[in-house]
Amino acid sequence: MWAEKKCLQSAKDIDYKIVLTVTDIKGQCALHKVGEKIPIEFPLSPDKRAVDICPMALVGMFYKCYAMMFGGQFPWHTDPDVFDACCPDYENLVRFEIRRVPLKKK
């Protein structure tokens, strides 16, 4: 219960939603196609799937997505709203663009 309350409290501090776009596939991927857009928005409702993304790809990008949702920046990137990432499957590499979009606060 404590963790749930803490999670909902921190969700109020989220300033952005994340949109992942598949930009390139080297090899084969059974789940994703080039050009596919995958929105990620928190908090998730209990009746909604987290996202329609390969779990291994999400694990590889999650810390970047999470930082960007809260306004984090990566100093080695010129555009603070965009970051490129890849899934960890080096034989069937899927590249994603991570883009943050400002949320409209209520």
What digits encode the pLDDT tens for the residues 34-80?
999 998 877 655 555 555 788 889 888 888 988 898 888 888 888 99
% of the chain residues with pLDDT over 90:
39
Instruction: Identify the pLDDT of residue 81.
Output: 94
Judged against a pLDDT cut of 80, whether residue 24 lies above it is answered with yes
Can you spell out the DSSP letters for 49-63?
-S-SS-HHHHHHHHH
Structural contact between residues 69 and 102, judged by C-beta atoms closer than 8 angstroms = no
Cα 5 to Cα 2: distance, rounded to the nearest angstrom? 5
- The total number of structural domains in the chain stands at 1
Among 40, 39, 43, CA closest to 3: 43
Amino acid at position 80, single letter: P
| More confident call, 106 vs 35 | 35
pTM for the structure as a whole:
0.79
Instruction: Identify the pLDDT of residue 59.
Output: 87
Range of the domain at 56: 2-102
Q: Is the dihedral of CA 81, 84, 87, 88 positive or negative?
A: negative
91: confidence class by pLDDT, cuts 50, 70, 90? very high
Indicate the burial class of 6 (C-beta count within 10 angstroms; 0-12, 13-18, 19 or more): exposed
- Does residue 43 have a cis peptide bond before it, meaning omega lies within 30 degrees of 0? yes
In the block, tokens 């080297």 appear at 26
